[in-house]
Amino acid sequence: MQKIFGALVVTAAILTAGVSCGGARNGSAAGDGTASSETAGAPDGAAAGSANNGSANGSTTDAAAASVPEFNADSAYVYLKRQVDFGPRVPNSEAHRKTGDMLVAELKRSGAQVHEQRFDATAFDGTVLHSRNIFARFNPEKETGRLLLLAHYDTRPWADQDPDESKRKQPIDGANDGASGVAVLLETARQLGIKNPGYGIDILLVDAEDYGTDNQDDSWAMGAKYFADHMDAKGWRPAKAILLDMVGGRNARFPYEYFSQQAAPELNAQFRQAAGAAGYASYFPQTMGGAVTDDHVKLIEQGVPAIDIIDYDPRQGFNPTWHTVSDNIGNIDKATLKAVGQSLLQFIYK
């Protein structure tokens, strides 16, 4: 993702009017003119908790449990570490492929109906990225009012923000920028498999988010764009969406993201109300952060109310480890994973 400093008034007017702002972003679009394939798989097993309730995949059970499950930060941390242990998840790499396979297996284990959306995207530098979005459905028979939760699992190919210039061509571990959002969603999926929320929830792990370059908006979030461009044809349009990005860093705070507040103020307010009810209001200050070109924008452009929960300090910018070699497992805080994950479960089960 990248920060945007210019043209905010124009963009805000477009979003408020409900008009797609895709035309204002000129550049290569993910998947344009490329072949794609999609495969779906039935669950091939369930985790210990999931085995007690397969109802999240195709059940007619409507009643959601009254209590909110406990988000297990230790479990989320293990999911995070498993990703990082593969190495940098740069598209076209073996670590990237192995990570995708692991994510598919874990989502199936949670009882989800899983689809793999494969596509080729051409990056700003001409590199063809062999990409795969991973889309998991809980209660797929619930066709209306579906909630989409998403995060990106690829990592930045270069540590271009590192203070040490000699390290700026190295790939990053992406423990926070990439793995943290995915880890929270994997633990959320595990909880959904144990306790059916009673309505339709989708989890989208998007690819090819972080291969962009400055001043080319369409070079970012290519997997999210591919999904958004094809969701109606597949019957996958959500009623609303919540993006998690960089949700595991130390001293993290998640103010309002500009585009989120313009496009989905009610959803933003509901999530923060849930965070307060869960006891984590301090992580979500009632202040405006930056305007961030991120995966949620591709959904907003297609008319989906979407918000971005992202660590951003209006005075200092992104988390200090952003796009540096310091974005590693040593700078992850389980307390932040807990705050975001418990707030999300509160929102889901409230």
Crossing angle of the two packed helices 73-85 and 94-109, in degrees rounded to 10 = 150
pLDDT at 2: 65
pLDDT at 347: 98
Rounded distance between C-alpha atoms, residue 161 and residue 284, angstroms: 26
Give the tens place of pLDDT for each residue, 71-115. 999 999 999 999 999 999 999 999 999 999 999 999 999 999 999
Mean pLDDT of the chain: 86
pLDDT at 1: 67
CA angle 258, 317, 341 (to 5 degrees): 70
Query: Which of the given ranges, 1-10, 18-27, 118-127, has the highest pLDDT on average?
Result: 118-127
Mean pLDDT of 341-348: 98
Work out the pLDDT band at 59, boundaries 50, 70, 90.
Answer: very low
Work out the pLDDT band at 316, boundaries 50, 70, 90.
Answer: confident
pLDDT of 49 above 60: no
- Please give the CATH number for the structural domain made up of 2-349: 3.40.630.10
Work out the pLDDT band at 54, boundaries 50, 70, 90.
Answer: very low
Mean pLDDT of 178-186: 98
Are 171 and 155 in contact by the 8 Å Cβ rule? The answer is: yes
Does 264 or 52 have the greater pLDDT score?
A: 264
Work out the pLDDT band at 31, boundaries 50, 70, 90.
Answer: very low
Work out the pLDDT band at 313, boundaries 50, 70, 90.
Answer: confident
pLDDT of 41 above 80: no
pLDDT of 245 above 70: yes
pLDDT at 36: 38
pLDDT of 3 above 60: no
Instruction: Give me the amino acid identity at 72.
Output: N
CA 173 remoteness from chain centre? 17
pTM of the model: 0.85
pLDDT of 304 above 80: yes
Instruction: Give me the amino acid identity at 304.
Output: V
Percent of the chain with pLDDT over 70: 81
DSSP 102-144: HHHHHHHHTT-EEEEEEEEEE-TTS-EEEEEEEEEEESTT--S
Rounded distance between C-alpha atoms, residue 293 and residue 151, angstroms: 14
Mean pLDDT of 275-279: 98
Domain boundaries of the chain, sorted by first residue: 2-349
